């Protein structure tokens, strides 16, 4: 996660991938932040949802592993506390009324460590409310990319797969092992419009570059062009690319 997310261009992220925080707005309703609550925004990116949470009168700490994202968040919202932190090594103990996380936990391939840190960071009675990529998220895109990498004669090692997309059964069980009482878990399709004719190319370059790690530079553009061509039938509708996103949402309590 560290390398990929830190190579993201924070400006590009804000201009072309603002849907990430736009979709997070309904997750805020699920969190129902209260005035005066101490809330950790885990994987806060460039801070837009942290700002919305702070508008409820909550006291927000935003953390992200990417220095560039945190730099951008601080310059956009100087009154909010932002820190660079790794979700598997959080330094908080019994501090928060809630931990909120949108579109970040699929980058954490060590979910047990992250859940232990989240649990430790919560006060007794505190809640964890999260949304991220669930089982089979972006499967059409990643399957086609793997297929084209292999068709060109390169080996794809699953360790290069940058994400953790669990089912709700798997993630609820991990939450319970960490000590949470799971009160809500949902898996749903969220077809996501991606901007522009080059959306698939841009998406792969921005999010999926580690999948092409074993491929020489000279071959990458050709592979991505084939992926785009083959996905057109599946993901291009009415003049627009639609990403095959699937989300999970969970709520757990530290009792």
Q: Which residues bind ligand BEZ (CB under 6 A)?
A: 103, 106, 133, 137-138, 163, 207, 245
Minimum CB separation from ligand BEZ for residue 200, in Å? 12
DSSP string, 157-170: -GGG-------HHH
Cβ contacts of 42 within 8 Å, gap of 6 or more:
63, 87, 90, 99, 100, 101, 104, 105, 118, 130
Residue closer to ligand BEZ, measured from CB, 82 or 207: 207
Query: Residue 82 phi/psi, 5° resolution?
Result: -125, 140
How far apart are alpha carbons 70 and 77 in whole angstroms?
Answer: 10
Residue closer to ligand BEZ, measured from CB, 72 or 137: 137
From the list 77, 94, 227, 57, the residue with the least C-alpha distance to 148 is 227
Minimum CB separation from ligand BEZ for residue 243, in Å? 8
Minimum CB separation from ligand BEZ for residue 170, in Å? 16
Q: State the Cα angle at 158 between 153 and 163, rounded to 5°.
A: 125
Residue closer to ligand BEZ, measured from CB, 8 or 96: 8
Residue closer to ligand BEZ, measured from CB, 100 or 245: 245
Minimum CB separation from ligand BEZ for residue 236, in Å? 19
């Amino acid at each position: 996660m560290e390398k990929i997310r830190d190579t993201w261009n924070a400006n590009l992220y804000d201009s072309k991938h603002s849907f990430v925080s736009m979709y997070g707005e309904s997750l805020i309703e699920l969190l129902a932040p209260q005035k005066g609550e101490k809330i950790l925004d885990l994987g806060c990116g460039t801070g837009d949802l942290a700002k919305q949470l702070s508008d409820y009168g909550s006291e927000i700490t935003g953390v992200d592993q990417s220095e560039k994202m945190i730099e951008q968040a601080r310059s956009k919202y100087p009154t909010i506390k932002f820190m660079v932190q790794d979700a598997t090594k959080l330094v908080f103990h019994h501090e928060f009324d809630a931990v909120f996380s949108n579109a970040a936990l699929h980058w954490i391939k060590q979910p047990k460590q992250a859940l232990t840190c989240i649990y430790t960071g919560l006060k007794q009675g505190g809640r964890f409310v999260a949304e991220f990529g669930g089982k089979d998220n972006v499967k059409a895109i990643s399957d086609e990319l793997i297929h084209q990498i292999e068709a060109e004669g390169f080996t794809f090692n699953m360790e290069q797969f940058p994400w953790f997309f669990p089912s709700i059964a798997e993630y609820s069980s991990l939450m319970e092992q960490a000590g949470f009482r799971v009160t809500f878990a949902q898996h749903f399709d969220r077809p996501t419009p991606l901007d522009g004719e080059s959306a698939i190319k841009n998406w792969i370059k921005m999010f999926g570059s580690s999948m092409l790690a074993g491929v020489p530079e000279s071959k990458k553009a050709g592979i991505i062009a084939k992926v785009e061509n083959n996905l057109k039938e599946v993901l291009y509708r009415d003049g627009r690319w639609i990403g095959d996103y699937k989300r999970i949402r969970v709520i757990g309590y530290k009792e």
